[in-house]
Amino acid sequence: MSKIATAGNAGPKVRSDCEITIEIRQKGGIAINLKSKVKTLYGESIKSLCREVLDFFRIRNAVLSIDDSGALPLVIAARLEAAIRKITGTEMEFLPEMIKENLYATTPERTRFSRLYLPGNSPGLMINAGLHSSHGIILDLEDSVAPDKKDEARVLVRNALRQIDFRGAERMVRINQGETGLKDLQCVVPHNVNLVLVPKCETAEQVRQTQEWINEIRSRKKIRNRIFLMPIVESAMGIENCSEIARASDDVVALVIGLEDFTADMGVQRTQEGAESLYARSRLVIAAKAAGIQPIDSVFSDVGDLDGLKQNVLRSKALGFEGMGCIHPRQIRVINEGYSPDNAEIDKSIKIVLAFEEASKNGLGVVALGTKMIDAPVVKRALKTIALAEKSGLIGKDWRGKTDSNQ
Amino acid sequence: MTVRTVINAAGRRVPVQINGQPVVAFKGVGKYRPSGRKYSPQIPSCSDFPTDGNKVVRSLEEALRKCGLRNGMTISTHHHLRDGDLISNRIFEIASSMGVKDLVWFPSASFPCNDPVIRYLEDGTINRIEGSMNGPLGRFVSEGRMKGTAVLRSHGGRVQAIQDGEVRIDIAVLVAPTADPFGNAKGTGGHSSCGVIGYGKADSMYATKVIVVTDNLVDFPCYPMEIEGNYVDCVVVTDKIGIPEKIVSGTTEITRSPDRILIAELTASFLEKSGILKDGVTMQAGAGGTSLAIAVFVHEILKSKGWKSKFGFGGSTKYMVKMLEEGQMGYILDAQAFDLDAVKSVENNPNHIPYPVFNAYNYHSKGNLTSMMDIMILGATEVDVNFNGNVVTHSDGYLLHGIGGWQNCLHARNVILPLPLFRDRIPVIVDEVTTLCGPGELIDVVITERGIAINPLRKDLIKKMKGSGLPLRSISELRDEAERICGKPQKPQFDDKIVAAIKWVDGTVIDVVRKLKTSQ
């Protein structure tokens, strides 16, 4: 077995990360060679953290080489642990403190307009991710992490879940398929994950398998918080089975379509207009709505084109989608605003509800607003819009009083 | 020889002598009263100059010889050619080949292109630099390798020092994109256009000898003249004074960093909700990516409200030019043009007015522009819990930036510093600044991606912002958050040796930079 291993990233463009090489030896004690742009300010603290980690793993003789570009302690610890695991295969975990800000739960029906994808092995993007007000933050262990980096990314994501304040965003992890996915779950589930994204989902069985794994870990580790599931459907087979997938478990709260993989599977080009996926998207929306869960749209990949994104969101909303993934923080606002009801919708809904309430008080079953008849389904939709507007902070709970004065 | 030190009004230990000359310790903002008269150079006579007005000499070397270059002289240059300057280094190359020693270089700023002067600091041609020190030059000074002590001044402090005679320029070498044989010069035209050359104005008026160097000689009169030929001794014509693409960035761009955009949005929102941004507002913002994003957001607000800024003070950029052209800004008063759009605008738009830094920033003057500004957007490497600011050293103790106009701009009505809470694990909000450049009483608001701190002295702003919905925090809460995320930093270790003095806008010494212990 090799006694030398490396984890992490270094290079001219890397920031807030480090690359650590460890050579475990038979004798000679601990030697640390540190190259760091913050050496004057944090040199001693980096070395003492590394000694603490080595001590935890009972390593007494080793040479460490650290190339640091301003990594936070949670990153340094993750990199060193990952390098040690490569050599020893240990199952021990050096866990940084779980900050109290991170101990929150979410609900099945919460708003999920925007969820920001963060590559699971890029710590620089994680630190401030919570500042941009997305409804969810996805720490991605799947497609954005190279196969030979999966193991170290998992440790980093675990530490991020414990140490980085995501400020109320739903804490999500996208796991890998199969056995790698199980390893992912074992590593992250005990650290207050709110939701797990199940990629390339083609059958209800895949969802149930994931849920079983999660439940097994939860009971073994005595974890009480619920963990929701969000299957990603990205193939023709997945679309065929999406109704069953949506109903596979009570923990499934949303169904996502992944159009890059879907169009590849179909052998067609993905276009801005999206005619090639119209049926698939519509089918998925109906399956989700029928199961009482949220249909979520695919990411928009041109991060520079915010106008294009806006048009895309409005088309998506018109089809019935209730959210979209973000691959850059600047997309968040456009997406949140796009899926929120606009002022005209809100005003109209309030008028409808008030008119209906007034009519009911007077014993009338059907009322008219202007020339339009208002019946139960219209009122139901108006109430939904108002609830959404309330949840998005667009109107206060006192909307009845506010609008009275406007009229 | 050790020099006696005293504690100044800001609580910093400073020497009473720098480079053998007595200096005054900082006494507090507006407290030091200068006495005496302004410095005046020797009286010249027309009889010493050609009657046909042609002062062209064959080379820079000839001009320097003619101006009597010798040991110990002070040589000044301006920085309008920025990183494309081809002349400053050449002066010292010539001096070195002539065997001249112990010069003082007095630039209005230095750039990476000036790193080769390190060779002339090492061979004794230059004794010291009194001006900004960046990159390798800063490193050289911080490691105690410069013979004399550096003196860092703000742009306004530099012209104050010239005017008051603290610095007596023996020879000013002023590059000019266009000049005539009499020495009239301007910043536009030719292939090295930089827009304006106002930083050289005070040098031209107060230096004993003045050399204008151009690569675009035009017939008399070169108009409008920023440098007036009556002050000029010789004119040198050379192939190339600068590298155009390094003189101005082709284009300045707003930040792409989502965190910086967030800071810019918070800043624009703060300006709007506090009522600081209003019809008729006067403002200045720099050319950094965050400042540019703020300018864009401010422009949108002005447009949507139908407001107009009375004037803006440059460094100008295409974003400011856009405000001028679209009618949201009355005038741009400009000391330097940062990009090609700005250069073009100075050349063509009569409401884009060159405005020398001598008039805008000099504190020993009958009032100046900075106190008339409503909004001043500035940066800093560090701000401490008493709102004191540092712009010259990094937290690791290395001297890496000049003061620029930063200290002068602190006199605006609302001084706002949009800053990241930390940069690559280095906290920006700290217990105590490494080097004090600006007293906290002049810094009103610090805006970070994780919260906004208003100086407790600004009770009016604190009251106005209550209930604004913006994330208001105390500055110590911000410091605590930075330390919680990054860890508490160690302090750099310094020797006693003073390597640089930091002057306040009135010429008093506000702080010093000491030699770093490099053994670590």
User: In which element (H, E) is residue B312 found?
Assistant: strand B309-313
Size of interface A-B (CB pairs under 8 A): 60
- Does residue A94 belong to any structural domain of this protein? no
- A333 and A348 part of one domain: no
**With the C-alpha atoms ordered A20, A25, A30, A33, is the resulting torsion angle positive or negative?**
negative
Determine which of B424, B470, B484 to mutate to test the interface with A (most A C-beta atoms within 10 Å).
Answer: B424
Residue of B3, B10, B6, B153 lying closest to B510 (CA atoms): B10
Mark yes or no for CB contact A70/B520 under 8 Å: no
Residue A69: list chain B partners with CB under 8 A.
424
- Assess whether A284 and A140 both reside in one domain: yes
Q: B470 in contact with A at a CB cutoff of 8 Å? A: no
The CA-atom distances, in angstroms, between A359 and each of A369, A372, A383, A397, A400 are 11, 14, 16, 22, 15
Residue range(s) defining the domain that contains residue B72: 49-130+167-247
User: pLDDT tens for residues B394-436?
Assistant: 999 999 899 999 999 999 999 999 999 999 999 999 999 999 9
For residues B364 and B424, membership in a common domain is answered with yes
Residue A114: strand pairing partners: A324
Q: Are A1 and A87 in contact (CB under 8 A)?
A: yes
State the Cα–Cα distance between residues B193 and B179, nearest whole angstrom.
12
pLDDT reported for residue B135: 83
pLDDT of A407 reads 36
Query: pLDDT tens across B438-485, in order?
Result: 999 999 999 999 999 999 999 999 999 999 999 999 999 999 999 999
Q: Are residues B387 and B464 in the same domain?
A: yes
Q: Would you state the structure tokens that stand for residue A49, as one six-digit string? A: 């953290």
Which positions in chain B touch A328 (Cβ < 8 Å)?
Answer: 258
What is the CATH classification number for the domain harbouring A51? 3.30.230
Contacts 24+ apart (CB under 8 A), B141-145: B141/B399, B141/B499, B141/B500, B141/B513, B142/B393, B142/B397, B142/B398, B142/B399, B142/B499, B142/B513, B142/B515, B142/B516, B143/B515, B143/B516, B143/B518, B144/B495, B144/B497, B144/B499, B144/B515, B144/B516, B145/B121
pLDDT of residue A368: 80
Are residues A178 and A158 part of one domain? yes
Q: Total domain count for chain B?
A: 2
Whether B450 has its CB under 8 Å from any CB of chain A: the answer is yes
pLDDT of B218: 98
Residues A357 and A311 occupy one common structural domain: no
| Pair (B197, B287) in one structural domain | no
Q: Could you tell me the residue range of the domain that residue A78 belongs to?
A: 4-88
From first to last of its 407 residues, chain A has per-residue pLDDT tens of 569 999 999 999 999 999 999 999 999 999 999 999 999 999 999 999 999 999 999 999 999 999 999 999 999 999 999 999 999 999 999 999 999 999 999 999 999 999 999 999 999 999 999 999 999 999 999 999 999 999 999 999 999 999 999 999 999 999 999 999 999 999 999 999 999 999 999 999 999 999 999 999 999 999 988 999 999 999 999 999 999 999 999 999 999 999 999 999 999 999 988 999 999 999 999 999 999 999 999 999 999 999 999 999 999 999 999 999 999 999 999 999 999 998 888 998 998 888 888 888 888 767 787 788 888 888 888 888 898 888 777 888 888 875 543 43
Interchain contact, B396 vs A40, CB within 8 Å: yes
CA distance B372 to A242: 66
Which one, of B415, B429, B421, B418, lies nearest residue B267 by Cα? Answer: B418
Nearest residue to B201 (alpha-carbon basis) of B190, B223, B185, B188: B185
Q: Is B58 on the interface with A (CB under 8 A)?
A: no
User: Is residue B459 domain-shared with residue B381, that is, in the same domain?
Assistant: yes
CATH of the domain at B118: 3.40.1080.10
Contacts of B259 in chain A (CB under 8 A): 128, 131
Continuous H helices in B394-474: 406-409, 459-465
Does residue B112 share a domain with residue B59?
yes
Quick one: B242 and B288 in the same domain? no
pLDDT value at position B520? 43
Q: What are phi and psi of A381, to 5 degrees?
A: -65, -40
Rounded to whole angstroms, how far apart are CA atoms A228 and A248? 12
Which tokens sit at B154? 């703000």
- Kindly report, residue by residue over B178-213, the tens digit of the pLDDT: 999 999 999 999 999 998 898 999 999 999 999 999
Which of B247, B267, B295 lies at the terminal end of a domain, its last residue? B247
Evaluate whether residue A204 is within a structural domain: yes
What backbone phi and psi angles, to 5 degrees, belong to B229? Answer: -60, -25
pLDDT of amino acid A404: 45
**Is residue B336 situated within a structural domain?**
yes
- What pLDDT does B1 receive? 57
In the listed set A39, A63, A88, which residue is the last one of a domain according to the structure?
A: A88
Per-residue DSSP letters for B118-156?
HHHHHTTSEEEE-S---HHHHHHHHTT-SSS-EEE--HH
Domain final residue pick, B247, B269, B297: B247
A361 and A335 housed in the same domain: no
Q: Is B401 within 8 Å of chain A by CB?
A: no
The answer on A335 and A351 residing in a single domain is no
Q: Name the closest residue on chain A to residue B493, using Cα atoms.
A: A40
Q: For residue A43, which residues of chain B lie inside 8 Å, CB to CB? A: 490, 520
Domain shared by A258 and A325, yes or no: yes
Single residue among A88, A123, A141 that ends a domain in this structure: A88
Q: Which candidate from A40, A42, A44 shows the least CB-CB separation from B397?
A: A40
pLDDT at B250: 67
Residue B159 lies in a domain: no
Q: Please tell me the distance from the alpha carbon of residue B51 to that of residue A294, in angstroms, as a whole number.
A: 88
Based on the domain organization, do A385 and A361 belong to the same domain? yes
B415 and B375 in contact (C-beta within 8 Å)? no
Q: d(Cα B436, Cα B247) in Å, to the nearest integer?
A: 31
**Closest to B32 measured CA to CA, from B21, B24, B20, B40:** B24
Cα of A33 to nearest chain B Cα, Å: 13
Domain of A160, CATH number, reads 3.20.20.60
For chain A, give the number of residues: 407
A330 and A387 fall within a common domain: no
- Please give the model's pTM, rounded to 2 decimal places: 0.92
Question: What is d(CA B502, CA A178) in angstroms, rounded to the nearest whole number?
Answer: 63
What b/e sequence results for B235-272 when a residue is b if at least 16 CB atoms lie within 10 Å of its CB, and e otherwise?
A: bbbeeebbebebbbeeebebbebbbbbbbbbbbbbbbb
* pLDDT for the residue B107: 97
Give a yes or no: residue A271 inside a domain.
yes
Low-confidence ranges of chain B (pLDDT < 70): 1, 250, 519-520
CA atoms within 13 Å, Cβ hemisphere of B311: 16
Query: Is B289 within a domain?
Result: yes
Token pair of B492 as six digits: 């750099």
Residue B196 in any domain: the answer is yes
State whether B267 and B231 are in the same domain: no
Alpha carbon of A222 to those of A90, A99, A218, A219, B490: distances in Å? 22, 19, 6, 5, 40
Spell out which residues of chain A touch residue B426, defining contact as CB-CB under 8 Å.
38, 41, 70
Residues A172 and A319 in one domain: yes
The answer to whether residue A95 is domain-embedded is: no
Please tell me the predicted confidence (pLDDT) of residue A378: 84
C-alpha to C-alpha distance for A364 and A358, rounded to whole angstroms: 9
**Is A368 found in the same domain as A327?**
no
Are A195 and A175 found together in one domain? yes
Contact criterion met (CB < 8 Å) for A131 and B487: no
Element (H, E) at B477: helix B475-486
Q: Which of A88, A117, A138 is the last residue of a domain?
A: A88
